[in-house]
Amino acid sequence: MTGLILSYAGRDRDRIGGRIAWGGIVAGIIAGFAVFFVRLSDPKGMNLPLTRFNRLVVVAIAAIAAVCVVWALLSLLAPRARGLWKYLGVTLLTVLTAVSLMYLSPMVIQYTQEFVYFGESGFSTNSLLRAIGFSLGLFLCLLLALSSYKTHRALGAHGNVFFLFASLLFFLVEYGFKAVASLQRLKMLPLSDLVFDIMVWGDEYGNYFLFAQLALAAVMLLWVIATHGRPVGEFANRALLRKEKARLRDCRRWSWSLFTWSLAALLVVTVVHYYDTKPPAEVQPEPYVLKDGIIEIDLATLADGHLHKYSYVTPNGYDVRFLAVKKPVGTAYGVGLDACEICGVAGYFERGDEVVCRRCDVVMNKNTIGFKGGCNPIVFPYDVKDGRIFIDVKELIVHERRFK
């Protein structure tokens, strides 16, 4: 969508419009860096304020996108490609781009903090591969934007606005779902069945909005290929004819470029992501000793440092899963439910030496298991003594309804 906005703003070599749009991109990225460093300066103190701020920004993005969609629709119904009407649109689109990049940039930058995992060498093969993957991801986004820009420029005035309108509409729907969830979490919108369904749909089918944008790109590139075959009209000389043929060939090539990178993006978020995050089969719960309502787990069974899962069926028939792991640093142990406050009872699995959430694919630091917050396993009281972990089943019964 950024490529389409830049194409529209700079159409007919409009330097003013192009500069306004580029200014929005730069301003949005700078603001995103500022938000990231504010969080980095005080992670704990700024966590709640920035979470509330981000939710408000999501609502603002949806509202600005709605105004942009109305402007684009009016431009389609009554074309006003020049003058103040165009610059009104460019200004609205620039604000939308800036605010969106301010919201998205900190999330992208955050990935740079995850190149090296806790206890891992900064020059390991895994950290290098993560850095390369991050760089390739950014490069793919830039290629998509450039190809979209070039392909969109080949369209006529009406087609130019039509595809911009469609892209904005998909974007509005995407952030409309997010805005509903944000308003509910800000306690500004009551939780009804409809609101809950919207939140679930937006959470589970987020990639569908990306697929919609890629499908729009496919239609756009087919349009360009179909309309940029042979030169039409009379030409004063052969030099002008060759120039027109070169222009048409260039448009078709950029269209195929858009197809290539769109296909690459589709494969990354589907096939590659599936194989990269595919969890192993659920392991069977391990045995333990149960005496007088007290569960006993021998610490020697945890000495391998791997994740160990257990299960306790409460008198009410709830299967409460919990886990234990020896932390890589020191002699401490982490114990918690196979569930978290954010992702519910999706549970965790082990990928190599990493503990990963089955739902959101967040990697757990084993040293933080047993502490509250984030996507960490929900903690409950237990004792460690005489080479064993002791858990009162009453502490598990307290959480039984989570596993309904």
Per-residue pLDDT at 396 exceeds 80: yes
d(CA 392, CA 287): 16
pTM for this entry: 0.72
Residue 316: pLDDT band with limits 50, 70, 90: confident
**pLDDT of res. 374:** 67
Q: Quote the percentage of the chain above a pLDDT of 70.
A: 96
Mean pLDDT of 77-81: 69
Q: What is the pLDDT of residues 217-261, one digit of tens each?
A: 999 999 999 989 888 888 888 899 999 899 999 999 999 999 999
d(CA 318, CA 325): 23
Q: What is the pLDDT of residues 83-102, one digit of tens each?
A: 788 899 999 999 999 999 99
Mean pLDDT of 32-54: 90
Residue 182: pLDDT band with limits 50, 70, 90: very high
Mean pLDDT of 115-140: 84
Q: Write b or e for each residue in 367-401: b if 16 or more Cβ atoms lie within 10 A of its Cβ, otherwise e.
A: bbbbeeeebbbebbebeeeeebbbbbbebbbebbe
**pLDDT of res. 79:** 67
Per-residue pLDDT at 129 exceeds 60: yes
Q: Which two tokens stand for residue 47?
A: 């966590």
Mean pLDDT of 154-165: 91
Q: What is the pLDDT of residues 335-370, one digit of tens each?
A: 888 888 777 777 888 877 778 887 777 777 777 787
**Can you state the angle between helices 15-41 and 2-9, rounded to 10 degrees?**
140
**pLDDT of res. 45:** 85
Residue 136: pLDDT band with limits 50, 70, 90: very high
Q: Which domains does the chain have, with CATH numbers?
A: 2-277 (no CATH), 289-403 (2.102.10)
- Could you tell me how far CA 43 lies from the centroid of its own chain? 20
d(CA 114, CA 332): 24
Q: What is the pLDDT of residues 192-216, one digit of tens each?
A: 888 888 888 887 788 899 999 999 9
d(CA 16, CA 225): 30
Is 231 buried (19+), middle (13-18) or exposed (0-12) by CB count in 10 A?
middle
Q: Which of 311, 320, 279 is nearest to 403 (CA)?
A: 320
Q: Write b or e for each residue in 277-295: b if 16 or more Cβ atoms lie within 10 A of its Cβ, otherwise e.
A: eebeeeeebeebeeeeeeb
Q: Which of 201, 104, 212 is nearest to 166 (CA)?
A: 212
Residue 61: pLDDT band with limits 50, 70, 90: very high
Q: Quote the percentage of the chain above a pLDDT of 90.
A: 43
Residue 285: pLDDT band with limits 50, 70, 90: confident
Ranges 66-70, 201-205, 291-295, most confident: 66-70
**pLDDT of res. 80:** 61
Per-residue pLDDT at 150 exceeds 90: yes
Provide the mean pLDDT of the chain: 88
